[in-house]
Amino acid sequence: MNGFKTIVLMITLTVMLVAIGGLLGGRTGMTFALIIAFGLNFFSYWFSDRIVLRMYKAKQVSEAEKPELYSIVRRLAQRAGLPMPKVYIINEDQPNAFATGRNPEHGAVAVTSGIISILTLEELEGVIAHELTHIKHRDILVGSIAATIAGAISYVAQMAQWAMIFGGGDDDDGNPIVAIVMMIVAPIAALLVQMAISRSREYGADKGGASISGNPLYLANALKKLHVASQQIPMRANPATSHMFIVNPLKSGIVARLFSTHPPIEERIRRLESMAYRR
């Protein structure tokens, strides 16, 4: 169901791009915006793993350095039918984790030092299984495509704004009010659809992680601890990468939660517990 929902949302983004491009930027403007957006996201897709890992000063560890963590990742990767990903440690007190890599062959799992100290081994299994599911589902690719289309929509809207300011535009018969509304609404709508895709992927990773670990309560219990700790222990996280973490590393108010790429933690836990009790 999550896969179908993602496809529908991706199609929605594409239709939005074509519509706003035709209405505001014309064919030339839309083509130019697409070239820029795809160029930026092509670079991000191929090098995002290195960039993010360096951003958080993640250190790759061997089995000799972290035998329990390495063993968990290897066992769950084998169970999921994945190549062994690289394992990284981030020297942060906040318990958190993320996965990166453009495909399963280049997968990496990064966990903070705080998550190792606060979770039981079973709860850590639940978290690792969640991250491995992101790798298995190629969520980095999905996120990159969604960002590409959403970025293109923003570029087209911005170009249309400049065109109106300087009196440009090929369609003199167009409705300026409609154009202004589209310039404001389209980027916001694209952001909301992009958020919906991210949330859908998180639900999918929760479900897949529960299956790989063998017990949904492993992850459910981990999420309870991680949510509380993430609000109490600060982390030097970049807002542009906060969506990658298993729980939002940034403190969030009511408005921020409405526009969060992470689903409500209570709903994630409820779904996982429901899976456990149906067994």
> Which residues does the annotation mark as catalytic?
131
- CA dist 209 → 76, 111, 121, 124, 261 (Å): 9, 16, 15, 11, 19
What's the rounded Cα separation, in Å, for the pair 18 and 185? 15
Helix (H) or strand (E) holding 60, with range, is: strand 59-60
Phi-psi region of 59 (alpha: psi -120 to 50; beta: other; left: phi over 0): beta
Quote the CA–CA distance of 52 and 161 in Å, as a whole number. 33
Q: Side chain identity at 9, as an amino acid letter? A: L
> In sequence order, what are the residues at sequence separation of 6 or more whose Cβ sits closer than 8 angstroms to the Cβ of residue 24?
156, 157, 159, 160, 163, 179, 182, 183
13 CB-near residues (< 8 Å, 6+ apart) = 146, 149, 150, 153, 190, 193, 194
Q: Which residues contact 100 (CB under 8 A, 6 or more apart)?
A: 48, 49, 52, 53, 107, 108, 110, 140, 244
Joined together, the tokens standing for residue 52 give 């993010």
- Within the chain, residue ranges assigned H as helices are 2-20, 26-55, 67-80, 113-118, 121-136, 139-165, 176-213, 216-232, 254-258, 265-278
